């Protein structure tokens, strides 16, 4: 006999009750998804908030960290002297110093004046030393064939075309500032015009 024919004797309500009971037993043993209670959710949120706070604190501290002295020293020493924009740095800190003490006139007279004079003397001396036997007050070469009056492209002349003129003007400007003399300053400007015309004649 077939299986269907053997079930004909059982009442239908009894079959339904048996099927429902078996289904409940199977679902009891099936894996259930984990669910967090309210306490677990709160703890998880607290951990996430603490980690986020630590990240923000670390970012703030790293942004406030100063560069190392070794790195700053290397940056200062790098580059070629005279090609790094030293004049801008000198002007920057000179103005900051004047602003800090609040007295511009005294600073310019007592500091910039002597600095210009010393720098001018150094330029004139170095120019004469690099010219050697070519040194002459005349704008026309005396005897280039004999090695006197020839064009010099070495030493300080490789950086400045007329360093001696620049030294004279710088020194006279410093003297004008040191003595607080408008007359000397005007005469220095006149000297600039003469040296400029002389350099063109050369």
Average pLDDT of the residues in 20-46? 55
Please determine, for residue 118, whether its predicted confidence score (pLDDT) is greater than 90.
yes
d(CA 159, CA 82): 9
For residue 15, pLDDT over 60 is answered with no
CA atoms within 13 A on the CB side of 140: 1
- CB 186, CB 160: distance < 8 Å: no
Q: Considering just the CA atoms, what is the radius of gyration of the chain in Å? A: 46
Q: Are 174 and 116 in contact (CB under 8 A)?
A: yes
pLDDT at 58 (0 to 100): 72
Average per-residue pLDDT in the chain? 74
Rounded Cα distance between 133 and 76, Å, is 38
pTM as predicted: 0.49
Q: Comparing C-alpha atoms, which of 116, 122, 110 is closest to residue 174? A: 116
Q: Enter the tokens of residue 202.
A: 């050369």
How far is residue 134's CA from residue 129's CA, in Å, rounded to a whole number? 10
- pLDDT band for 1, please (50, 70, 90 cuts): very low
């Amino acid at each position: 006999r077939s299986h269907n024919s053997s079930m004909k004797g059982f009442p239908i309500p009894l079959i339904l009750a048996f099927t429902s009971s078996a289904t409940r037993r199977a679902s009891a043993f099936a894996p259930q998804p984990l669910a967090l209670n309210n306490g677990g959710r709160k703890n998880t949120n607290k951990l996430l908030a603490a980690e986020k706070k630590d990240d923000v604190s670390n970012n703030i501290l790293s942004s406030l960290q100063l560069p190392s002295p070794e790195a700053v020293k290397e940056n200062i020493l790098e580059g070629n002297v005279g090609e790094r924009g030293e004049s801008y740095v000198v002007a920057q800190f000179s103005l900051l110093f004047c602003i800090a003490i609040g007295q511009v006139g005294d600073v310019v007279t007592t500091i910039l004046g002597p600095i210009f004079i010393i720098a001018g003397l150094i330029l004139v001396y170095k120019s004469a030393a690099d010219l050697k036997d070519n040194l002459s007050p005349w704008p026309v070469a005396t005897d280039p064939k004999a090695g006197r009056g020839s064009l010099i492209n070495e030493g300080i002349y490789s950086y400045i075309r007329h360093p001696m003129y620049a030294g004279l003007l710088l020194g006279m400007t410093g003297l004008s500032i040191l003595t607080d003399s408008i007359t000397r300053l005007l005469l220095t400007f006149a000297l600039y015009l003469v040296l400029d015309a002389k350099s063109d004649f050369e």
